[in-house]
Structure 1
Amino acid sequence: GVIALMGGRCGAGFQPAPGSEGLQAGSPQRTLVQAGSPHHNLAASGDAPLLLGILMECADPIETPDQLEEWVEGGVIAVGMAWWRGSRYAAGNGTNHKNDCGLTDLGRELATRMDGLGVVHDLSHLSQRATDDLLEHTDTTVIASHSNCRALLDGEANPDWQRHLSDETIAEIGRRGGMVGLNLVRNFIKTGLDRHSTNDRPTINETIAHVEHVCSVMGHRRGIGLGSDMDGGITANDLPKGINSPSDLQKLGEGLRAHRWNETEIRGFAWENWTRFWAGDPSLA
């Protein structure tokens, strides 16, 4: 919950939810970010509220693109057009590459409406072709909310290769002033793990390797933040060693410090990079 997140020194996050009512009711410790409304006056640190945004993972609940505005009014600020199986709008990362339809005509229409309403595109879970199609269709800022580096996960030899970001995609996200959110699911950090073992978990250093790679490709440390994927169905055995709950997320900061990140950069990873992104800070570009 909120207390565990703040205990882990996390100041911003996404909430999978059908609407904003549950987030807004009786929650002085958290503030719901709205699409197209920069929060320049909010800094997610100290006594400031935890910033939450509703991200839709798979756009199929939006039956037609003209319904998007209703979802935005309900609090949606970012949309990933597909999940693993794909959607009416785009192919997902589980799509056979030979049958990859990329972005559909309906998906292009939705993308245009998203741009008009200030809704952010999330590339996580899109197939490679859908990613390429979207980046060609729109020149807006994009994110990959919970994805890691394909180059560190056996490249295209990995059966799940489309779930991970190519260096070209990472570079383009950075060029547009976007963000990559680090995924903490163990097989998205390291290949060859025994999925049936409760002890075969990647180390903090192996996790931070993805952070460092994103920064190397982008050329700066302002486009990386926590993505986690800790949104249900994830146990401690699915996470890096030493991270058993949100309260342990500060151990990533300790690891970054050991890699000679300064305190400003560590705060950036923990929350400030995401906060600046939602505030529309041009320094990210």
Structure 2
Amino acid sequence: MDTEYHGASDWFDLTETEANRARDLHEEMRIVDGLVAGTYYLDDPGYRDHLREAGIVAGNLTVGGPDFDFEATAAGVADARRRLAANDDIYRLVESVEDIDHAAETDRTGIILGFQGGNWVGNDLSRLRTIAELGVRVVDLTYNRGNTLGDGCCEYRDAGLTMLGREAVAELNDLGIVIDVSHANDRTTSEIVERSTDPVIASHIGCRALAHSQGRAKTDEQLAAIADEGGVNCITPFPPVIKRDADTHEVLPATVHDVLDHVDHAVDVGGVESVAFGGDMSDRTLDQGSISQGSNLNVWRKTHPEVYGAGPTDRMDPYPDGLSRYTELHNLTHGLVARGYTDDEIRLIMGGNLLRVFESVWA
């Protein structure tokens, strides 16, 4: 593996011994990303190596979810599978923990097919089995707005799971699909955690005690509930959930130290076995300096600054300095060393905790 991005970090005052420990640890541990945003990582020549160079052995790649059209959603999964197969020199489709093991053994990154949202379900729960057969292994039931299953983080009403949503939770448990609560509103989040017989994940969130992003940053009560049921809270460097003005919602400049504050807080609330990393980083979008018309910041920030913060709607907010893209992921490992975590604890945060959940649910 290329070690260009895994050397010393300028962000932390580490001794030579500590810096070498962080470098070696980053190289040898199995890093799992709770949320990879952008299928272009699969085949864009400028970015297809970024996940592997970051040391990621597996990542939950969003391949659908918000679309209400089931045929288009299924076609999107099929397209992702084709692109994976065409790039199997560096990627491997993950449908079991054994696939992640094989990816690590062959110096590839395992790709877990995941959905952000269940709009496509409509009133037909049999579609859940279809997407499971297509290889999808992670599903967030809601994405910002409400749907037939429950309410998302941008919905104005204070409702949770619908009757159909409760049935969907049970069906996903039966199918062995990991349930994600990242874009669910508070009540939906709590009801999913309560009703699921399997541990759930929050694949890319912040801690609301540090940054008040409604829904997208989870409360201490929610962090603890997810942890108590064996689930995992994946801290993301996504700017609106990391640092903002409490009164104006203005997204403030942040650094890798602010992300580590969220990691520390989640650990304090739920324990080290309940915390992981969820990137939600788009290296190409940052480089382009513009975002699509359908992006969250363009569509939802205008009406929901309490969720997505106040800031530009034509480009991404600057991600935290020192952790703005995958090529800087080694800084997170160095920071965990600097914060006093043991090697075993860092292995859990950077991948072990998610692997435990996947093994439990997919078995």
Is the structural similarity TM-score above 0.5? yes
Moved more, 243-252 or 226-235: 226-235
Alignment match, 2:137:
77
Which among 29, 39, 51 is matched to residue 90 of structure 2? 29
In 1, Cα distance between equivalents of 2:170 and 2:94: 21
Over the matched positions of the two proteins, sequence identity in percent amounts to 27
Alignment match, 2:111:
52
TM-score computed with the length of structure 2 as normaliser: 0.67
Which among 161, 182, 185 is matched to residue 127 of structure 1? 185
Alignment match, 1:222:
273
SS of the residue corresponding to residue 209 of structure 2 reads helix
Deviations 1:39-74 (A, max 9, x none): 387176575432221111110122311111111111
Deviations 1:103-144 (A, max 9, x none): 111111211211110111111110111112222322321000
In 1, Cα distance between equivalents of 2:264 and 2:105: 27
1:165 to partner: Cα distance: 0.8
- What residue identity is the alignment partner of 2:113? I
Alignment match, 2:21:
none
- What residue identity is the alignment partner of 1:168? E
SS of the residue corresponding to residue 171 of structure 1 reads helix
Alignment match, 1:245:
325
Alignment match, 1:8:
54
TM-score computed with the length of structure 1 as normaliser: 0.84
Decide whether the 8 Å contact of 1:6 with 1:247 is kept in 2.
no
Decide whether the 8 Å contact of 1:56 with 1:78 is kept in 2.
yes
Counterparts in 2 of 1:111 and 1:53: CA distance versus 1, 3 Å: same
- What residue identity is the alignment partner of 1:266? I
SS of the residue corresponding to residue 147 of structure 1 reads strand
Deviations 1:16-52 (A, max 9, x none): 1231332233413322222xx4438717657543222
In 2, Cα distance between equivalents of 1:107 and 1:215: 30
Decide whether the 8 Å contact of 1:189 with 1:206 is kept in 2.
yes
In 2, Cα distance between equivalents of 1:196 and 1:134: 30
Which among 65, 81, 88 is matched to residue 125 of structure 2? 65
In 1, Cα distance between equivalents of 2:218 and 2:284: 23
1:245 to partner: Cα distance: 2.5
- What residue identity is the alignment partner of 1:256? L
Counterparts in 2 of 1:223 and 1:148: CA distance versus 1, 3 Å: same
- What residue identity is the alignment partner of 2:280? D
In 1, Cα distance between equivalents of 2:330 and 2:189: 32
Decide whether the 8 Å contact of 2:181 with 2:201 is kept in 1.
yes
Q: Which runs of 5+ in 1 are unaligned?
A: none
Which among 252, 255, 278 is matched to residue 335 of structure 2? 255
Larger Rg: 2
Counterparts in 2 of 1:235 and 1:257: CA distance versus 1, 3 Å: same
Alignment match, 2:227:
174
Counterparts in 2 of 1:222 and 1:31: CA distance versus 1, 3 Å: farther
In 1, Cα distance between equivalents of 2:241 and 2:285: 13
Deviations 1:133-165 (A, max 9, x none): 222322321000001111112xxxx4x322211
Which among 330, 335, 344 is matched to residue 264 of structure 1? 344
Does 2:238 align with 1:185? yes
Deviations 1:78-117 (A, max 9, x none): 1111111122211010122xx2221111111211211110
RMSD: 2.6
- What residue identity is the alignment partner of 2:281? M
SS of the residue corresponding to residue 168 of structure 1 reads helix
Counterparts in 2 of 1:58 and 1:232: CA distance versus 1, 3 Å: farther
Counterparts in 2 of 1:136 and 1:242: CA distance versus 1, 3 Å: closer
Alignment match, 2:254:
202
SS of the residue corresponding to residue 56 of structure 2 reads coil
In 2, Cα distance between equivalents of 1:42 and 1:102: 37
Decide whether the 8 Å contact of 1:44 with 1:271 is kept in 2.
no
In 1, Cα distance between equivalents of 2:92 and 2:155: 36
Q: Which runs of 5+ in 2 are unaligned?
A: 1-40, 42-47, 64-75, 288-316
Which among 84, 87, 101 is matched to residue 159 of structure 2? 101
In 1, Cα distance between equivalents of 2:153 and 2:100: 37
In 2, Cα distance between equivalents of 1:91 and 1:57: 13
Moved more, 7-16 or 143-152: 7-16
Alignment match, 2:194:
136
Alignment match, 2:313:
none
Decide whether the 8 Å contact of 2:281 with 2:324 is kept in 1.
no
Decide whether the 8 Å contact of 1:184 with 1:240 is kept in 2.
yes
Alignment match, 1:211:
263
- What residue identity is the alignment partner of 1:205? H
